[in-house]
Amino acid sequence: MSVAENLAKVRDRVRAACQASGRNADEVTLIAVSKTRSIEEIRKAYDLGQRHFGESRLQDALPKIESLPNDIVWHFIGPLQSNKAKKIAGVFDVVHAFCNEGQLKEANKSARPITGFIEVNIANEPQKSGLAINQLDEFYSEAIQYEYVRFRGLMTIGPVVSNAEEMRPYFRELGSQAKRLGLEWLSMGMSEDFEVAVQEGASHIRVGTAIFGSRQ
Ligand SMILES: *Cc1c(COP(=O)(O)O)cnc(C)c1O
């Protein structure tokens, strides 16, 4: 299947999930996760109208950001190392995985306004990054003091499950936490479960494999 066919299919599925849950399709931003993909592959998706792309490593992303059109919105979705956060905030528009103050301090130093998500470890998995729910309030009240990072939502990766339906309670919980904090956006849902995420209120879905095929 070509990127064109895959992208059309993903867009149709997003529309259907929106329709099934009484949402407008324009409430959902599809981020094409382009980590490991070449500039040519990204260009193909761009030519099909795709404008939001997600990368998880600064070094891999830099040549792509430099050589592709500048109306692309670049999302940093990967684990955020503090020592790279300043550079990342200097080139990405949206950073999805803030979960400690060191990252914030560094990102703020780039003095370039970006949008931030707070990463939540929604299933309390010991090996995963992200904040526990009971750490959210304290972090958020610190986070809003940094002038160059504007926090608009919560993000989660979530556990590996065998059936997308199993993600529903986690997505729902992320939504109610965002609501409680007064945050409007939710970055959740990947190739295997984005429809459930859309039904549960995702504003941003991060889809790689279903668009570009499986990664090596
Ligand atoms: C790789 C990645 C994705 C995309 O995963 P797919 O299963 O290929 O859709 C989404 N979110 C994050 C944080 C990722 O690292």
> Tens digits of per-residue pLDDT, 186-201?
999 999 999 999 999 9
Summarize the confidence of residues 169-183 as an average pLDDT.
98
d(CA 106, CA 163): 38
Residue environment code for 97-134, b if the CB has 16+ CB neighbours within 10 A, otherwise e: bbbbeebbebbbebeeebbbbbbbbbbeeeebebbebe
Q: How far is the CA of 190 from the centre of ligand 1 (A)?
A: 6
Pocket residue to mutate for ligand 1, from 119, 174, 190, 205, most atoms within 8 A of Cβ: 190
d(CA 173, CA 21): 17
Q: Which residues, other chains included, contact 124 with Cβ-Cβ below 8 Å and sequence gap of 6+?
A: 132
Indicate the pLDDT class of residue 169, thresholds 50, 70 and 90.
very high
| Cα-based angle 75, 55, 122 (whole degrees, multiple of 5) | 75
Q: Name the one residue in this structure whose structure tokens are 């792509």.
A: 64
User: Ligand 1: residues within 6 Å at CB?
Assistant: 33, 35, 56, 77-78, 157, 190-191, 206-210
Joined together, the tokens standing for residue 120 give: 């939540």
Summarize the confidence of residues 67-86 as an average pLDDT.
97
Q: What is the pLDDT of residue 141?
A: 97
What would the pLDDT profile of 87-120 be if each residue is shown by its tens digit?
999 999 999 999 999 999 999 999 999 999 999 9
d(CA 205, CA 172): 15
Dihedral sign, Cα of residue 108, residue 113, residue 114, residue 120:
positive
pLDDT over 90 for what percent of the chain? 99
Q: How far is the CA of 45 from the centre of ligand 1 (A)?
A: 17
CA-based nearest residue to 201, from 183, 188, 182? 188
Q: What is the pLDDT of residue 43?
A: 98
Q: What is the pLDDT of residue 216?
A: 79
Joined together, the tokens standing for residue 163 give: 């059936």
**How many residues can be counted in the chain?**
216
The SS3 of residue 113 is coil
Give yes or no for residue 57 having a pLDDT over 90.
yes
d(CA 19, CA 39): 33
